[in-house]
Chain A
Amino acid sequence: MTLTSEEQQPAPANGGGRFLDVRDLKVHFPTDDGLVKSVDGLSFHVERGRTLGIVGESGSGKSVTSLSVMGLHKRGAAKISGEILVDGQDVVASSDEEVRRMRGKRMAMIFQDPLSAMHPYYTVGDQIIEAYRIHNDVSKKKARTHAIEMLDRVGIPEPDRRVDAYPHQYSGGMRQRAMIAMALSCDPDLLIADEPTTALDVTVQAQILDLIRDLQREFNSAVIIITHDLGVVAELADDILVMYAGRSVEYGTAEQIFNEPEHPYTWGLLGSMPRFDRERSTRLLPIQGSPPSLINVPEGCPFHPRCRFEQNTRGLAKRERPELVDTGRGHFVACHMSQAQRQQIWRDEIKPKL
């Protein structure tokens, strides 16, 4: 069993209420090949003004989690259980119509590829106006003024002219800015950014991340940033959730995850990250093997076939799934090795190589 009780989770840093509280979320897709357990018992929470980074490889369940929070899974196709409390209202238990009313206003989303995520036949302005008018009963003219303001706010030059351009007339970075303007047009309390910089130029990536951070401060919203890029998380996140095979393997503050990571998978992720402050010749340390099929998740610890330290558990990792346990100070780790052992390996073996 994973965490369900309040005490087991990291305490919110600012003492405020949890704006988003996900409890024991399971998202399963029945397919012809078997049951795909994309998310299998996940719990986390975000407060207003805080940023949670969710990291993990492709297929670890990051995007499925975010779509569940938005209530965007088809009722028939996905079997969802657990609780997703957005400001106290449970998305899982609410009706389609109730969730629709929440979308865009309570929670909004920025997608990975802004070119395919914006409708090619409508102007950027029309798409922002449409988003704004769903939740605000205003005239088209007022909404247009608002759209121009939003475009200006996200740093689009000549917004009063650009508002009438089509997405294909924007550059990649501008499209993502427009996408952010659209998502923020109704002043949402929770913003989910699903790989917001993956499709962008490296030079533009930093600008977009800065923009998200600035806007978060301005609107005091809760932000979830989903990525496989630890650099992005290092830039933005207050808290980090490391996902593997639809589960959380490590969860703590950004300082804890970067400075004293305790899970072998997190070590692997850190080792795979290129660093500017190292010699060019230093090789990266990739994680061997590939992520497991979500239909046949390995028994025991799902990471054990790829784990270099599996023998330290004397076979326990092959048999039993490790619980996500608080090691103190709100740092959660799901690993069979003892904390002393993990800290020792990190200190002596891993850290010097990074």
Chain B
Amino acid sequence: MVAYLIRRLLATIGLLFVVSVITFSIFFLVPKWAGATPDSMATRYVGRTATADVVHQTAVRLGFTDPFYVQYADWAKGLVAGRDFDMGTSIEHCPAPCLGYSFITAQPVLPDLLDRFTVTFSLAIGAAVIWVTAGISIGVLSALKRGSLVDRFSMVIALAGVSMPIFWTGLIALSFFSYRWGITAVGGAYTPFTQNPALWAWDLMLPWVTLALLFSAQYARLTRAGMLETMNEDYIRTARAKGLRERTVVTKHGLRGALTPLLTIFGLDFGLLIGGAVLTESAFGLNGLGKYAVDGIRANDLPKILGVTLFAALFVVIANLIVDLLYAVVDPRVRTK
């Protein structure tokens, strides 16, 4: 077990290394191939009226004049051991794990990132609770009443849910609940959980439901398919032959088998969502990781982009690790001897 965890940890480090190298390469090598010089790249981060001298100083300060591998090594060193930054007027120490300072705002990236993370996590966790509950119940119901009106109706709704883009459903929801009926804060709002949990939930309700609509539709379809399959298994017949109530047969024997594959998909979805629910965050004006990434990309702000990318990768890996460990709990057949 310990050996397994160490192996997974090493794999994670390797993965993060590859992800950061690729991000770095795209940022530096692609412009270079297109003919950009260190100075021309630095012009983005100084005022319009800056002299060539100032531009060159900025290029040196941001490290653009160093070779690619030196820049990467500097950045990586900051992540592991911390790093000093020349801010022009003073030297700032950035302790490990240091993700650097924004090229634009000269603010350290990590505190911002953690701040944004709480918003995205709040969004993801609430939505996940809703979509898992709704998706699985609708899926089970559809499977048990297969071919009935309930089944057809919910599957049509599910198809619509999957098909509707979130920026559309989000805006529609906002226009009714927020602007027209004034039930929720105008244009969306966010209150930190630590400040007021009730308001936190109330403000996030609309984004939660919107995001959950998309996912619950997908989970309902998956649950339905899984249930239809497991309810035909021999062990379900055995459970009935024992004289179990149909409700016990469905929940204890049927659902248990049908839910295992869903766990894998849930791990992936949740991990990806933490990396940024860009569309939902944009639609509801939530300052989450997705929006942070988009802002970083728009401004060519490498430390921000790198920070979000690493964070997202890390969460996908962690979510998958948790799923793999849970799998051993759920399915005794995958447990090691």
Task: Give chain A's interface residues, CB within 8 Å of chain B.
Answer: 70, 72, 96, 100-105, 108-109, 111, 113, 116-121, 123, 130-131, 134-135, 166, 168, 182-183, 186
Task: Give chain B's interface residues, CB within 8 Å of chain A.
Answer: 233-235, 237-246, 253, 256-257, 330-333
What residues of B have a CB within 8 angstroms of the CB of A118 in the complex?
235, 238
What residues of B have a CB within 8 angstroms of the CB of A117 in the complex?
234-235, 237-238
Q: Complex formed: what's the CA distance from A116 to B236 in Å? A: 10
**Distance from B56 Cβ to chain A, minimum over Cβ atoms (Å):** 66
Whether A166 and B333, one on each chain, are in contact in the complex, defined by CB atoms closer than 8 angstroms, is yes
What residues of B have a CB within 8 angstroms of the CB of A182 in the complex?
238, 242
Whether A116 and B235, one on each chain, are in contact in the complex, defined by CB atoms closer than 8 angstroms, is yes
Whether B235 and A72, one on each chain, are in contact in the complex, defined by CB atoms closer than 8 angstroms, is no
Whether B242 and A134, one on each chain, are in contact in the complex, defined by CB atoms closer than 8 angstroms, is yes
CB<8 Å pairs between A and B, sample of 25: A72-B237, A72-B241, A96-B246, A100-B243, A100-B246, A101-B243, A108-B242, A117-B234, A117-B237, A117-B238, A118-B238, A119-B239, A119-B253, A120-B235, A120-B332, A120-B333, A121-B256, A121-B257, A121-B331, A131-B242, A134-B242, A134-B243, A166-B333, A183-B241, A186-B243
Which 6 pairs of residues, A with B, have the shortest CB-CB distance? A104-B243, A103-B243, A116-B234, A131-B242, A119-B235, A117-B234
Whether B237 and A111, one on each chain, are in contact in the complex, defined by CB atoms closer than 8 angstroms, is yes
**Distance from A198 Cβ to chain B, minimum over Cβ atoms (Å):** 13
Whether B233 and A116, one on each chain, are in contact in the complex, defined by CB atoms closer than 8 angstroms, is yes
Q: Complex formed: what's the CA distance from A100 to B245 in Å? A: 7
With both beta carbons as reference points, the residue of chain A lying nearest to B236 in the complex is identified as A119
Given contacts A111-B234, A113-B234, contact A120 B240 (CB under 8 A): no
Whether A120 and B331, one on each chain, are in contact in the complex, defined by CB atoms closer than 8 angstroms, is yes
Q: Complex formed: what's the CA distance from A100 to B332 in Å? A: 29
Q: Complex formed: what's the CA distance from A183 to B242 in Å? A: 7
Q: Give the interface centre of B242, B244, B331, B332 by most chain A CB atoms within 10 Å.
A: B242
Whether B243 and A102, one on each chain, are in contact in the complex, defined by CB atoms closer than 8 angstroms, is yes
Q: Is the interface of B mostly helix, strand, loop or mixed?
A: helix
What residues of B have a CB within 8 angstroms of the CB of A101 in the complex?
243
Q: Complex formed: what's the CA distance from A116 to B237 in Å? A: 10
What residues of B have a CB within 8 angstroms of the CB of A72 in the complex?
237, 240-241
Whether A105 and B333, one on each chain, are in contact in the complex, defined by CB atoms closer than 8 angstroms, is no
**Distance from B148 Cβ to chain A, minimum over Cβ atoms (Å):** 11
Whether A108 and B241, one on each chain, are in contact in the complex, defined by CB atoms closer than 8 angstroms, is yes
What residues of B have a CB within 8 angstroms of the CB of A186 in the complex?
243
Q: Complex formed: what's the CA distance from A105 to B112 in Å? A: 65
**Distance from A75 Cβ to chain B, minimum over Cβ atoms (Å):** 12
Since A105-B243, A111-B234, A121-B331 are in contact, a sample of 7 more A-B pairs with Cβ atoms closer than 8 Å, ordered by chain A residue number, is A101-B243, A103-B240, A104-B243, A120-B235, A120-B257, A120-B332, A168-B333
**Distance from A176 Cβ to chain B, minimum over Cβ atoms (Å):** 13
With both beta carbons as reference points, the residue of chain B lying nearest to A67 in the complex is identified as B237
What residues of A have a CB within 8 angstroms of the CB of B330 in the complex?
121
With both beta carbons as reference points, the residue of chain B lying nearest to A119 in the complex is identified as B235
With both beta carbons as reference points, the residue of chain B lying nearest to A134 in the complex is identified as B243
Q: Complex formed: what's the CA distance from A135 to B241 in Å? A: 13
Q: Complex formed: what's the CA distance from A182 to B257 in Å? A: 20
What residues of B have a CB within 8 angstroms of the CB of A168 in the complex?
332-333
Whether A103 and B233, one on each chain, are in contact in the complex, defined by CB atoms closer than 8 angstroms, is no
**Distance from B177 Cβ to chain A, minimum over Cβ atoms (Å):** 42
With both beta carbons as reference points, the residue of chain A lying nearest to B249 in the complex is identified as A100
Q: Complex formed: what's the CA distance from A105 to B233 in Å? A: 23
**Distance from B232 Cβ to chain A, minimum over Cβ atoms (Å):** 11
Whether A130 and B244, one on each chain, are in contact in the complex, defined by CB atoms closer than 8 angstroms, is yes
**Distance from B84 Cβ to chain A, minimum over Cβ atoms (Å):** 55
Whether B238 and A111, one on each chain, are in contact in the complex, defined by CB atoms closer than 8 angstroms, is yes
What residues of A have a CB within 8 angstroms of the CB of B246 in the complex?
96, 100
**Distance from B58 Cβ to chain A, minimum over Cβ atoms (Å):** 61
Given contacts A113-B234, A121-B256, contact A135 B243 (CB under 8 A): yes
Q: Complex formed: what's the CA distance from A334 to B246 in Å? A: 41
Whether A70 and B241, one on each chain, are in contact in the complex, defined by CB atoms closer than 8 angstroms, is yes
What residues of A have a CB within 8 angstroms of the CB of B256 in the complex?
119, 121
**Distance from B335 Cβ to chain A, minimum over Cβ atoms (Å):** 9
What residues of A have a CB within 8 angstroms of the CB of B257 in the complex?
119-121
Whether B241 and A109, one on each chain, are in contact in the complex, defined by CB atoms closer than 8 angstroms, is yes
